[in-house]
Structure 1
Amino acid sequence: MIRLETITKQTSHRILFFEASAALNRGEKIGLVGPNGAGKTTLFRMITGEEAPDEGQVAVEKQVSIGYFNQDVGEMAGRTAVAEVMDGAGPVSAVASELAVLEAAMADPGRADDMDTIIERYGEVQARFEELGGYELEGRAREVLAGLSFSQEMMDSDVGALSGGWKMRVALGRILLMRPDAMLLDEPSNHLDLESLIWLEDFLKGYEGALLMTSHDREFLNRIVTKIIEIDGGALTSYSGDYAFYERQRALNEKQQQAQFERQQAMLAKELKFIERFKARASHASQVQSRVKKLDKIERFEPPRRRQSVSFDFPQAPRSGEDVVVLREVSKGYGARAIYQGFDFKIRRKERWCVMGVNGAGKSTLLKLVAGATTPDSGSVSVGGSVKMGYFSQHAMEVLDGDNTVFESLESAFPQAGQGSLRALAGCFGFSGDDVEKKCRVLSGGEKARLVMATLLFNPPNFLVLDEPTNHLDLDTKEMLITALADYDGTMLFVSHDRHFLATLSNRVLELTPEGIHQYDGGYTEYVARTGQEAPGLHP
């Protein structure tokens, strides 16, 4: 269906692909993986024809339709979310736009003189809309948007008023409604809450076309893909299986390659020792010559290319008192909408609470109340004795000083720390070499998140309040963070849509639902087993 045939692609400063080949066949669901900057987005752009390989070719079968979702959604305004999603469905979207204009004209008293013409045209356009299956399409568009957690009001409002994250969902919805022969999805799981993520998972499992996607969510990949294509060192390597299989197989391959390399190095050392010992003796001249020729012909094994993997070890946090935070009779609302009313909640030392609930349930509001970023309308929030709090929010990334470099940001946060320890810290969070000299204003979302997280964890608090800490983090950095937090000795309160993060780190669940607030002993895994659902907005 889509073939990459011995492609070579070079940017101004590095080779992304060298004589690399791979294929996407009908019905295959493939995860595309590789370190940041390996060329995943470039690969997508070559398949869509936005870029061309320097050598080799990208062959796409005739009549194959391709839908491509990426993080750059462009400008959206002037239409409803439903109309924007339907826009990806071809001619019917133009007819839908004209229908909307005519409906507005019929409701306009100033157009009374033209009403006969407007009504006549409306009849013609409506018939064409029906003929193209427009009403059925609109129903499907609303179904997709509902799956992505849009309310009816949001569906019918101007898309221009939505935040960047919601516009991303509209752009994703457009591709899903299109149902092309091949779908290319670049990080579709970013910006989605857990309910939307699980809905998308089910949608993609039932999708019959070919799928090639990247994701920083390992659970999401494991549940959908049946094949992995890895970009590493300019090569494309295919693995038949999900992400967990790929990880095991890759580790096994590396182990075998290392053993092969070491055996050959031992053999070479032995041969060279013989040559060195007997090269001056005429009696051994033919044997020495024979071994020299043999060594010249041997194909040398390379040691495995090891991905740079870093780990972060928490310095010991000071011990807090037993009661870390106590909320008493807390009420909080925005306008006429009450989020909490008479809410009592206590967090004790070493508890790790994950907060779950649909959009708007009050997850981030609770974290802000606990962190002191907002105050309750009534009631009290008391932080316990010797509690040193660290609060990570998306807002923290917006207040980085754009004129500072990464290293200057760390230096200003920790003026007493030595250069060596700060460079080691930067390296743990993916800033190696010249990366530490990047200005904060040019950092990507993921880089900003890593920098804020590094600043938060270097001089560790004994109470971490984390609002979606894994948004924007790649798989390797996320794994490093999870491993580090698993060894963390303090208390945690967090919101995350990453099920691996939830399952590994939580030992308590706070569930916010319209029917009430529920507390569960045991972590996310126990919560799923007990309730039969992976998120509060879903029903078993």
Structure 2
Amino acid sequence: MIRLENIGKQNGKQIVFIEASAALQRGEKIGLVGPNGAGKTTLFRMITGQELPDEGQVSVDRGVTIGYFSQDVGDMTGRSAVVEVMDGVGPVSTLAAEMAELEAAMADPDRADEMDEIVTRYGEVQGRYDELDGYALDGRAREVLDGLGFSQSMMDGDVGALSGGWKMRVALAKILLMRPDIMLLDEPSNHLDIESLIWLESFLKGFDGAVLMTSHDREFMNRIVTKIIEIDGGALTSYSGDYEFYRGQRAIAEVQQQAQFERQQAMLAKEVAFIERFKARASHAAQVQSRVKKLDKIERVEPPKRQQTVRFEFQPAPRSGEDVATVKGVHKRYGERAIYEGFDFQVRRRERWCIMGVNGAGKSTLLKLIAGASEPDAGTVSRGPSVKMGYFAQHSMEVLDGERSVLQSLEDNFPQAGQAPLRALAGCFGFTGDDVEKKCRVLSGGEKARLVMAQMLFDPPNFLVLDEPTNHLDIATKQMLVEALQRYEGAMLFVSHDRHFLAALSNRVLELTPEGPHLYGGGYSEYVERTGQEAPGLRS
């Protein structure tokens, strides 16, 4: 359906692709992987014709429809979520929008003298809408939006009033409802809660078209894709299997290539040594000449291209007392809605609590209360006297000084540290070379998250409170963070929709439900085993 044949592409001074080839066949589910900046979005844009390769050819079979979901969703103000989602399917959405306007006009007493014309036009539009199966499409649009976590009021409300994350979901729903022959999905798992993620997994597994997607959620990728295309060093390499299989195969290939490289280097060293030793002797001139020619003809084995992996080592955190945080008799309301009524909870040393609950259950509210970012209406929240807390929240990224560089931000926080350890810290979190001179205002969401994380972890707290810490992190940085936190000896309280993160780090689960809190000994994996579901919102 799609073929990339010997493509070459250069963006400014960066060479993105060199004679790269790959293919996407009907019905394939493919994960596109590679380090940040490798060219994943460029590849999507070439397939859709938004960019052209400098060399080679990108060909799409005649009549094939493509739906492209990107992180750039644009403005959607003025229409309901349902109408916006139906817009991708064709004229039905225009008719739906006109019907809504005519319904408002029929209810407007100031337009009573136009009523005959309005009613006539409404009949015409409604008839055409019915012919195009608009009511069934409306139902399917609502089904998709429901799967992605929308309430009925959000479906019928103005998209312009929604946050950026919810607008992303509307844009994603638009592609899902369109059901093209091929879906190109650039980070579709961003901004989704765990229930919506699992619903999307099920939808894509049941979708009979082809999918080419990127995702920073390895569990999500594992459950959907059956093939991986890796972008690395300008080349495209295909692996049959899911993400875990790809990682294993890549590691085996690296070991094999390293062994071949070392064997060849040893052989070449022997040949060069012979040539150097006998080149001045006339009696060995023929042998020396023969070996020189042989060396010229040998095809050199390259050492494996190793993806940069970062490792962060925690300095030992000061030991806290046994009681890290205590919530007693807490009441908390937002307007008419009660979040907590007489809530009790305790975090003890070395406990790692993950908080589960549907949207609006009070997960982030609990973290804010314990971190001191919000006050209870009644009751008490206290932390132990020797507790040193680190709090990561989404708003943490908004308080970075846009005019300071990455390195200056670290120096502002740790003036006594010296440049060498701060540069090493920045490197652990993906800021290498000139990256440390980038101004905070030009950083991406992922870069800001990494910088805030670096600031929080350099002078280690003994209690970490983390609200969706992996939202903007790529798979490699997530893995570095997971491995670092597995070695961390303090207490943790966190919310995450990343199931790999949840399973790797939790040893306690607090589930918030309308009936009240449920506490589970054991971590997320044990919680799934005991409840039979991966998230509270999936239980009937």
Normalising by structure 1, report the TM-score: 0.99
- 2:163 is equivalent to residue 169 of structure 1: no
* Distance in 2 (alpha carbons) for counterparts of 1:144 and 1:188: 14
Q: 1:485 is matched with which residue? A: 485
* Distance in 1 (alpha carbons) for counterparts of 2:382 and 2:273: 74
SS of the residue corresponding to residue 359 of structure 1 reads coil
Gaps of 5+ in 1: none
Q: 1:13 is matched with which residue? A: 13
Q: 1:84 is matched with which residue? A: 84
* Range that drifts further, 14-23 or 96-105: 96-105
* Residue type at the aligned position of 1:103: E
CA offsets 1:285-317 (integer angstroms, 9 cap, x no match): 111111111111000111011111110000000
Equivalences for residues 407-426 of structure 1 within 5 A = 407-426=407-426
Q: 2:344 is matched with which residue? A: 344
* Distance in 2 (alpha carbons) for counterparts of 1:456 and 1:259: 41
* Distance in 1 (alpha carbons) for counterparts of 2:303 and 2:126: 67
* Residue type at the aligned position of 2:498: D
* Residue type at the aligned position of 2:91: P
Q: 2:62 is matched with which residue? A: 62
CA offsets 1:205-258 (integer angstroms, 9 cap, x no match): 000101000000000000000000000000000000000000000011011000
Q: 2:267 is matched with which residue? A: 267
* Range that drifts further, 101-110 or 438-447: 101-110
Query: What's the offset of the Cα at 1:515?
Result: 2.0
Query: What's the offset of the Cα at 1:510?
Result: 0.4
Cα RMSD, aligned residues only? 0.7
* Residue type at the aligned position of 2:132: L
Q: 1:153 is matched with which residue? A: 153
* Residue type at the aligned position of 1:368: K
* Residue type at the aligned position of 1:162: L
* Distance in 1 (alpha carbons) for counterparts of 2:40 and 2:483: 26
* Distance in 1 (alpha carbons) for counterparts of 2:60 and 2:244: 30
* Distance in 2 (alpha carbons) for counterparts of 1:514 and 1:212: 39
Q: How many residues of Structure 1 are paired with residues of Structure 2 in the alignment?
A: 540
Q: 2:135 is matched with which residue? A: 135
SS of the residue corresponding to residue 354 of structure 2 reads strand
* Distance in 1 (alpha carbons) for counterparts of 2:185 and 2:168: 12
* Distance in 2 (alpha carbons) for counterparts of 1:291 and 1:475: 47
- 2:393 is equivalent to residue 393 of structure 1: yes
SS of the residue corresponding to residue 183 of structure 1 reads strand
* Distance in 2 (alpha carbons) for counterparts of 1:328 and 1:310: 41
Equivalences for residues 76-475 of structure 1 within 5 A = 76-475=76-475
Q: 2:501 is matched with which residue? A: 501
* Distance in 2 (alpha carbons) for counterparts of 1:101 and 1:14: 50
* Distance in 1 (alpha carbons) for counterparts of 2:245 and 2:292: 42
* Distance in 1 (alpha carbons) for counterparts of 2:307 and 2:227: 21
* Residue type at the aligned position of 2:482: I
Q: 2:519 is matched with which residue? A: 519
SS of the residue corresponding to residue 280 of structure 2 reads coil
Q: 2:539 is matched with which residue? A: 539
Large movers: runs of 4+ above 2 Å: none
* Distance in 1 (alpha carbons) for counterparts of 2:498 and 2:385: 32
CA offsets 1:402-430 (integer angstroms, 9 cap, x no match): 11000000000000001100000000000
* Residue type at the aligned position of 1:383: R
* Residue type at the aligned position of 2:451: L
Identical-pair percentage:
78
* Distance in 2 (alpha carbons) for counterparts of 1:477 and 1:374: 30
* Residue type at the aligned position of 2:97: S
Query: What's the offset of the Cα at 1:277?
Result: 1.4
SS of the residue corresponding to residue 35 of structure 1 reads coil
Gaps of 5+ in 2: none
Query: What's the offset of the Cα at 1:121?
Result: 1.2
Normalising by structure 2, report the TM-score: 0.99
* Distance in 2 (alpha carbons) for counterparts of 1:72 and 1:285: 67
SS of the residue corresponding to residue 537 of structure 2 reads coil
